[in-house]
């Protein structure tokens, strides 16, 4: 049995439920999907500030024992490098997985995300992952993350932006740039006529595959476990000890 822990780095449980359904829909029969979110952190991640303050709670979920691999279910892939230092099994971010998958589906893809202020981060990740040329464009819907669950017009707006992105970029696939869009792939793909990639599903399958292959993050260099040292102030509870797990975050 393989256990994949899918971590929503924000604290909104209803979004974690959407993410959980997307991951479980693609998991193999022998895989247990454990979808969680931290108690500490922002309700949504829509800025560099949000992302920075989401990372401690995320890392506490990564550090808990019992998972063979982890998915970071936020399109900014927050804390990914730090999570790879902590985890014994593979860790994959959903932007990373979605872009890899989309690159196999044609010559280029477009990213459709939530707010315009996050477009730069999507471009940064595309270039960092080696897809700067494959990513034809990043387009925003100007729908806040939490409004994806409450705005009755959100699906129509996202579909319209996806269609416009295809026309503008000449791309062959769409990458949905938010974990909160995980349940929209089939509907949008049918409407716009190209593959639509959800990073939650793509990352879940990729982590499963790495576990089945017996592969994980190399631990001899940069991603070795962080050195033990004191932490001061409010971060003191996150200081690592010589044990395999870091402490729980403070209440």
For residue 239, the model assigns a pLDDT of: 87
| Contact status, residue 188 vs residue 165, Cβ threshold 8 Å | no
125 CA to centre of own chain? 12
For residue 243, the model assigns a pLDDT of: 56
Q: Which fold would CATH assign to domain 95-199?
A: Rossmann fold (3.40.50)
Q: How far, in Å, CA of 13 to CA of 20, rounded?
A: 10
Q: How far, in Å, CA of 201 to CA of 11, rounded?
A: 20
Q: How far, in Å, CA of 213 to CA of 231, rounded?
A: 37
Residue among 89, 45, 47 at smallest CA distance from 209:
89
For residue 236, the model assigns a pLDDT of: 87
The helix or strand, by DSSP H or E, that contains position 120, with its residue range, turns out to be helix 119-128
Beta strands at 2-7 and 69-72: parallel, antiparallel or unpaired? parallel
Q: How far, in Å, CA of 240 to CA of 227, rounded?
A: 8
Residue extents of the structural domains in the chain: 2-93+203-238, 95-199
Choose which CATH entry (3.20.20.150, 3.40.50.12500, 3.20.20.70, 3.30.470.20) describes domain 2-93+203-238: 3.40.50.12500
Give 29's contacts (C-beta < 8 A, 6+ positions apart): none
Total-model pTM: 0.94
| Contact status, residue 93 vs residue 155, Cβ threshold 8 Å | no
The helix or strand, by DSSP H or E, that contains position 110, with its residue range, turns out to be strand 109-113
Rounded CA Rg of the chain = 18
10-residue mean pLDDT series, the chain (251 residues)? 97 98 97 97 97 96 96 98 97 98 98 97 98 98 95 96 98 97 96 98 98 97 93 88 54 36
Length of the chain: 251
The helix or strand, by DSSP H or E, that contains position 7, with its residue range, turns out to be strand 2-7
Instruction: Please determine whether the domains at 2-93+203-238 and 95-199 fall in the same fold group of CATH.
Output: yes
């Amino acid at each position: 049995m393989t256990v994949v822990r899918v971590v929503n780095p924000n604290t909104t449980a209803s979004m974690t439920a959407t993410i959980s359904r997307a991951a479980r829909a693609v998991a193999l029969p022998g895989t247990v999907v454990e979808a969680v979110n931290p108690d500490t952190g922002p309700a949504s991640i829509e800025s560099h500030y949000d992302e920075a303050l989401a990372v401690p709670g995320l890392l506490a979920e990564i550090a808990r024992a019992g998972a063979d691999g982890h998915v970071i279910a936020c399109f900014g892939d927050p804390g990914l490098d730090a999570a790879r230092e902590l985890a014994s099994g593979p860790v994959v971010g959903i932007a990373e997985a979605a872009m890899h998958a989309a690159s196999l589906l044609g010559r280029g893809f477009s990213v459709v995300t939530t707010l315009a202020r996050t477009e730069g981060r999507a471009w940064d990740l595309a270039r960092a992952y080696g897809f700067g040329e494959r990513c034809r464009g990043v387009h925003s819907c100007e729908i806040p993350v939490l409004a994806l669950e409450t705005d009755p017009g959100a699906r129509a707006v996202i579909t319209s932006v996806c269609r416009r992105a295809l026309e503008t970029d000449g791309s062959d696939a769409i990458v949905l740039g938010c974990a909160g869009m995980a349940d929209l792939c089939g509907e949008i793909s049918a409407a716009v006529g190209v593959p639509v990639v959800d990073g939650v599903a793509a990352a879940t399958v990729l982590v499963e595959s790495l576990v089945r292959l017996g592969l994980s993050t190399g631990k001899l260099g940069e991603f070795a476990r962080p050195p033990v040292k004191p932490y001061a102030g409010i971060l003191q509870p996150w200081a690592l000890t010589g044990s395999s797990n870091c402490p729980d975050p403070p209440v």
